[in-house]
Amino acid sequence: MLVPLSVLEFRDRAETYFGEKVGVVDGERRFTYRQFGERTHRLANALVELGVEPGDRVSFITYNTHQLLEAYYGVLEAGAVLNPVNIRLTPKEIAYILGHAGSKVVFFHKDFKPLVEALIPELPAKPRFVIMEGATDGVASDEYEALLAGGSPDPLKPEIDENSIAELFYTSGTTGFPKGVAMTHRGLYLHGLYAEITLRFDEDDVVLHVVPLFHVNGWGTPHFLTMIGGQHVMLRRFEPLALMQAVERHRVTRVLAVPAIFNAILHHADRPKHDLSSLKQLIIGGAPSSPTLVAGLEEALDVQVVAGYGLTETSPILTVAMPRDFLTASETPEKRRLRQSWTGWPIPGIGLRVVHSDGRDVRADGEQIGEIIVRSNTVMSDYYKDPEATAETIRDGWLYTGDMAVIDDQGYVLIKDRSKDIIIRGGENISSVEVENAILAHPAVLECAVVSAPDKALGEAPVAIVVLKPGEAATPKELREHCKGRLARFKVPRDIHFRDSLPKGGTGKVLKAELREPFWKGHDARVQ
């Protein structure tokens, strides 16, 4: 017997066994899993009525909303491909994505009507537009709730080819237009199982969707949380007070987010005024964490904090720094927190190596740096309509991540940098993350980014851009002296600059390319 793998099974399971439980909360709106399931069926039937055929791409331009969560199942039930779009991109970039994907239907929240109007002239072919929570007009000929009301509540039974594309996410790059990462039904299904085996969510878990659903399906939570009947709480926009109020109101148990978001919560002046005692686990991903952040969160909130790592191209989770009791029982709290801030060890179903440029494995000593390569059923099928980029990234059955790391004798991996962010000073490799962690250990520092700058004598040198905590003070000399006690001298930043904030992208990652550019202005290349 061969049953095609599809995440639609997760929705069906929740609808059957958790039907009367409130499964989705979005502001004042609350849906049981039975209601949620019916809405996805209506969406699927409505799409078919609009002329959507198997394999067609359906795009969504919206916040973390119940409508987008419904699309994770309704679009697939119609046999189509879901394409959530990064709402923080420019109209030109979004127009490129819609054109490259060949979107047949585009759903957009009313707040993005000006953006949609601006991108329409850039589109090679005009798709059908559907507005959410707004009125129809010349742009949108359909409205979401009216569309659902006209759709049949009867489930469709699509013929699933588990190796066909189910979701299409476009990665943001530092140059050029983003690439479309094609994820299959099989890959997404297995990722849900692998992630759940590792994270062990259960039906009592309440998860706040802080990670944008347009960013690698919210790290998989729309799938594995639905599978086990947990509760989804949608956070439409990140703002520290809104996050803390949502945790307090809905008794949220787990939050997944990037370091910058957790850092903002940890140091927010109003944090002690909110009851965050329901939290039991925080999962840090999207960018390297630090032992300082892990320790600060654990002490302030009395929760377990673990880091994780993954890529859009891997659905995304590859590693999680879950403690192993037989190790932590004999380790100091400091060592445990250090491991929890590491990128982690591979979750089930993931083959992972750290290799030299010639393909040889590095020493498992936590010191020798190489590139992470992975092999798994959760790896993308390809870059959509881009065979050259696919062949460059997937070679000899392994996906080359471009992430430079070390690995220790217990299989824990620590990201040292993106390959392009390694700073080579006088022939010595410097990890910008290592330098950042050293600076972040200073009590006055809130945020830090380290980038390369040209150096006449040594080729390149590290420079640090630092944001201080409110009311705190520090000088470049003080921070450099602080680093000298923690780093080899050649790793100490040549210069330290202070700013009020760091530029961040749509998912909260610091835009290092933007910070690096002024130092390299007038140079033909960004390495020396």
Q: Quote the mean pLDDT of the chain.
A: 93
375-393 pLDDT per residue, tens: 999 999 999 999 999 999 9
Cβ–Cβ < 8 Å for 286, 509 = yes
- Kindly state the helix (H) or strand (E) to which residue 375 belongs, with its residue range: strand 370-376
Ordered domains of the chain (ranges, CATH): 8-188 (3.40.50.980), 238-418 (3.40.50.12780), 424-520 (3.30.300.30)
pLDDT score of 173 more than 90: no
**Separation of alpha carbons 114 and 117, rounded Å:** 5
For residue 513, count CB atoms less than 10 angstroms from its CB and return exposed for 0-12, middle for 13-18, buried for 19 or more: middle
How far does the chain reach from its first CA to its final CA, in angstroms? Answer: 58
Torsion sign, CA atoms 138, 140, 142, 146:
negative
| pLDDT for the residue 435 | 92
pLDDT score of 525 more than 60: no
C-alpha angle with apex 51: 139 to 69, nearest 5 degrees? 70
The C-alpha torsion from 502 through 400 and 378 to 191, rounded to 10°, is -40
E strand map for 3-91: 22-26, 29-32, 57-61, 81-84
Q: Which of 35-39, 72-76, 87-91, 104-108 has the lowest mean pLDDT?
A: 87-91
| pLDDT for the residue 420 | 66
Which amino acid does the sequence have at 504? K
| pLDDT for the residue 353 | 98
Distances in Å between the Cα of 397 and the Cα atoms of 63, 383, 392 are 36, 15, 12
Helices 33-49 and 66-77 pack at an angle, to 10 degrees, of 60
**Separation of alpha carbons 191 and 207, rounded Å:** 18
Give me the numbers of helices (H) and strands (E) for the chain, helices first please: 18, 27
87-125 pLDDT per residue, tens: 988 888 899 999 999 999 999 999 999 999 999 999 999
Structure tokens at 189: 């299904």
| pLDDT for the residue 175 | 46
**Separation of alpha carbons 38 and 149, rounded Å:** 11
For residue 159, count CB atoms less than 10 angstroms from its CB and return exposed for 0-12, middle for 13-18, buried for 19 or more: exposed
Structure tokens at 508: 């909260």
